[in-house]
């Protein structure tokens, strides 16, 4: 068996670094049987709201529900169209279908983000909302997208599942739209120890509605004012996130430092393209470090043989998935996504990576092409 020298990700290392605090936090939840919602979830939401700089943080069961709840409470329904990107995790698109609406998919730009210059061409009478996804940790062009939404009176939902604390031109991910949705899936930049998510907004009325909908349509127990869903955050997740929130700034900086190291070490390799940054004051938080490369399958195999883990995010763009066949898209509709599909490769990226591991990855890549 190959010895893993540089795993693609490692969430155990992070646990070991804060084990005592985490164990104590989990034990308190059990001791107090604060299993669902409750004190620790409330505490986390208050802390996240302060630290992120947003008025309302609505705790939910996962990042997928966060998008679904936002869509439903913005009254997106059958007959409506919602514009989003061709390249994302399936949640962004499947929730549009769940709400009864039709997803309208747009090709990506050089940064793997929704091409803001193509959006207006796809707006129709039925368009109700746009969901930009700040993929891999880099924000979309929100100035342009906000202005499109204002002109055409569309709702704006930011999928921030991969972009906690990302910024573009001084604006944080999730705070330009009507709502921002977050995932705290264990592997995300801020990750729980199970499924969890939240929705952020500065809109009081919308916050109250989303909170109620996520709790069976009731604000006060047994007073159901609408037919809602069960999408609550577990107490253990709230307690774990509360501990981890103290370290998120440090962990984010480490991701940025690692990305800078990769950039410096891989600068002269002509067979690969480093991730490009969109213009402006750009704080990319590198949920993933995605390069484009020649002979991807062979490179991936070679790295594997050296004990280096890699990933592909994502192997198939949404419009080419069996699940969305009925949308009847062709490869020609998505020239950029199609071209990138066979070239993208995600290198190891997590805060606890060491400088020598990064060097080893880069040396191995150079070795392969030589
Ligand atoms: C992870 C992710 C989600 C969904 O989050 P879950 O908590 O796994 O439901 C949604 N959108 C994007 C872009 C994601 O990466």
Q: What is the pLDDT along the chain (370 residues), one digit of tens a residue?
A: 457 899 999 999 999 999 999 999 999 999 999 999 999 999 999 999 999 999 999 999 999 999 999 999 999 999 999 999 999 999 999 999 999 999 999 999 999 999 999 999 999 999 999 999 999 999 999 999 999 999 999 999 999 999 999 999 999 999 999 999 999 999 999 999 999 999 999 999 999 999 999 999 999 999 999 999 999 999 999 999 999 999 999 999 999 999 999 999 999 999 999 999 999 999 999 999 999 999 999 999 999 999 999 999 999 999 999 999 999 999 999 999 999 999 999 999 999 999 999 999 999 999 999 9
Q: Which helix H or strand E contains 30, and what residues bound it? A: helix 19-31
CA distance 302 to 285: 28
CA distance 160 to 78: 25
* Dihedral pair phi/psi, residue 344, rounded to 5°: -75, 140
CA distance 29 to 193: 13
For residue 172, how far is its CA from the centre of ligand 1 (angstroms)?
Answer: 18
Ligand 1, pocket-test mutation among 138, 140, 159, 195, most atoms within 8 A of CB:
159
Going by CA atoms, what residue is nearest to atom 2 of ligand 1? 161
- Ligand 1, closest atom to CA 185? 7
- Ligand 1, closest atom to CA 287? 15
Alpha-carbon Rg for the chain in angstroms: 21
For residue 182, how far is its CA from the centre of ligand 1 (angstroms)?
Answer: 8
Q: What is the pLDDT of residue 27?
A: 98
CA distance 264 to 63: 34
Q: What is the DSSP code string of 297-335? A: HHHHHHHHHTTB--B-S-SS-GGGSGGGGGG---GGG-H
Question: What is the per-residue pLDDT across 86-144, written as a single tens digit (0 to 9) for each?
Answer: 999 999 999 999 999 999 999 999 999 999 999 999 999 999 999 999 999 999 999 99
Question: What is the per-residue pLDDT across 43-52, written as a single tens digit (0 to 9) for each?
Answer: 999 999 999 9
- Ligand 1, closest atom to CA 195? 7
Q: What is the pLDDT of residue 370?
A: 93
Q: Are 278 and 142 in contact (CB under 8 A)?
A: no
- Ligand 1 in contact with 40 (CB < 6 A)? no
């Amino acid at each position: 068996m190959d010895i893993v020298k540089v795993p693609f990700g490692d969430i155990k290392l992070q646990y070991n670094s804060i084990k005592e605090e985490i164990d104590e936090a989990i034990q308190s939840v059990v001791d107090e049987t604060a299993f669902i919602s409750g004190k620790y979830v409330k505490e986390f939401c208050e802390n996240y709201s302060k630290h992120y700089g947003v008025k309302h943080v609505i705790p939910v069961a996962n990042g997928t529900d966060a998008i679904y709840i936002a869509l439903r409470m913005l009254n997106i329904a059958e007959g409506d169209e919602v514009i989003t990107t061709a390249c994302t995790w399936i949640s962004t698109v499947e929730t549009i279908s769940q709400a009864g609406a039709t997803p309208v998919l747009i090709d990506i730009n050089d940064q793997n983000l929704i091409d803001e210059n193509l959006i207006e061409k796809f707006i129709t009478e039925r368009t109700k909302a746009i969901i930009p996804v700040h993929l891999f940790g880099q924000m979309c062009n929100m100035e342009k997208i906000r202005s499109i939404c204002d002109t055409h009176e569309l709702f704006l939902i930011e999928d921030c599942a991969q972009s906690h604390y990302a910024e573009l031109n001084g604006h944080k991910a999730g705070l330009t739209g009507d709502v921002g949705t977050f995932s705290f899936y264990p592997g995300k930049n801020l990750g729980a120890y199970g499924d969890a998510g939240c929705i952020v907004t500065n809109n009081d009325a919308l916050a109250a509605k989303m909170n109620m909908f996520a709790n069976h349509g009731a604000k006060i127990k047994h007073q159901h004012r609408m037919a809602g869903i069960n999408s609550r955050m577990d107490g253990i997740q709230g307690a774990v996130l509360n501990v981890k929130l103290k370290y998120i700034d440090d962990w984010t900086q480490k991701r940025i430092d690692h990305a800078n190291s990769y950039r410096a070490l891989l600068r002269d390799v002509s067979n690969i393209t480093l991730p490009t940054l969109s213009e402006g004051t750009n704080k990319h938080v590198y949920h993933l470090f995605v390069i484009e490369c020649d002979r991807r399958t062979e490179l991936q195999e070679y790295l594997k043989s050296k004990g280096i883990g890699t990933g592909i995010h994502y192997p198939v763009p949404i419009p080419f998935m069996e699940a969305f066949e009925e949308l009847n898209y062709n490869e020609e509709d998505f020239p950029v996504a199609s071209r990138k599909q066979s070239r993208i490769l995600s290198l190891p990226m997590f805060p606890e990576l060491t400088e020598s591991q990064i060097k080893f990855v880069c040396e191995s890549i150079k070795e392969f092409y030589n």
